[in-house]
Amino acid sequence: GNAEAALLDAEASERYTTLELARQVGQTGQVRPAQEALPDRAPVLPPVEVLVEQATRTAPAVLAADASLRLRRAERLAAFTPYLPTVRLTGGYDWFAIDFPPEQRSWSLRLAASLPIFNGFQREASIQRASAAERVAEARARDAELSTRVAVESAASDIELAGRRVAIADRAVVLAREDLRVQDERYTMGVATILDLQTSQVNLSDAEINAVRARQLLGTATARLEAILGQRLRQEL
């Protein structure tokens, strides 16, 4: 009764998860992850400083903040353009004659320059606004870099810990299988009870579930670091 209800709940949860995964990838029906989606060991990572240096060059958050800073700097420089003089060059060509082609011809060239003196402090206000926006962009760029550094260090640490959990979980599965083999032999010989055998089977199931969960955590930690770097680890390492 309870086991069958738990099985039905698990099947319903699995179906919902596969449908939700299909929605995330833009497909219809059920979608299941590939068999190799769960790593069996942690990737070999370079030193943290190397990862941080790479992240500051390729992380989407850092690149976006740097682009915003360059835009604000350009806007601040553009705010000084009203102080520049305006130069205008015009030219003309005239001719006068009764017959054609004309014999009397004249050229004219005019150069005019104007320098703005006062426009109601609009230029000064524009420069102040542009400078303030640049300072905000600088702070955000710095914060993005620091946040990326913290995120990289945290993700690298999570990958290392998750890799250790996978190794421990795999070892627990090996021990649980050996225990089940021993209990099965003892039950066949009449030394162990059916309860001992079922307990060993449950322990093996729990160990296998923990091993899968450990791999899920490792895959999530690896994907998080890849998202921070903006690149796949396998391609870079």
> Quick one: pLDDT at residue 36?
60
Model-wide pTM > 0.75:
no
Q: What gap in Å lies between CA 200 and CA 176, rounded to an integer?
A: 7
Q: What's the sign of the alpha-carbon dihedral 166, 167, 170, 171?
A: negative
Classified as helix, coil or strand, 9 is: helix
pLDDT tens-digit readout, 157-205: 999 999 999 999 999 999 999 999 999 999 999 888 999 999 999 999 9
The alpha carbons of the chain give a radius of gyration, in whole angstroms, of 36
pLDDT tier, 234 (very low <50, low <70, confident <90, very high otherwise): low
Beta bridge pairs of residue 87: 113
Report which of 56, 116, 107, 121 is spatially closest to residue 85, judged by C-alpha positions: 116
pLDDT tens-digit readout, 12-24: 888 888 888 788 7
pLDDT tier, 85 (very low <50, low <70, confident <90, very high otherwise): confident
Q: What is the mean pLDDT of residues 127-135?
A: 90
Instruction: Compute the 3-state secondary structure of the chain and give helix, strand, coil in percent, each to the nearest 5.
Output: 70, 10, 20
> Quick one: pLDDT at residue 106?
74
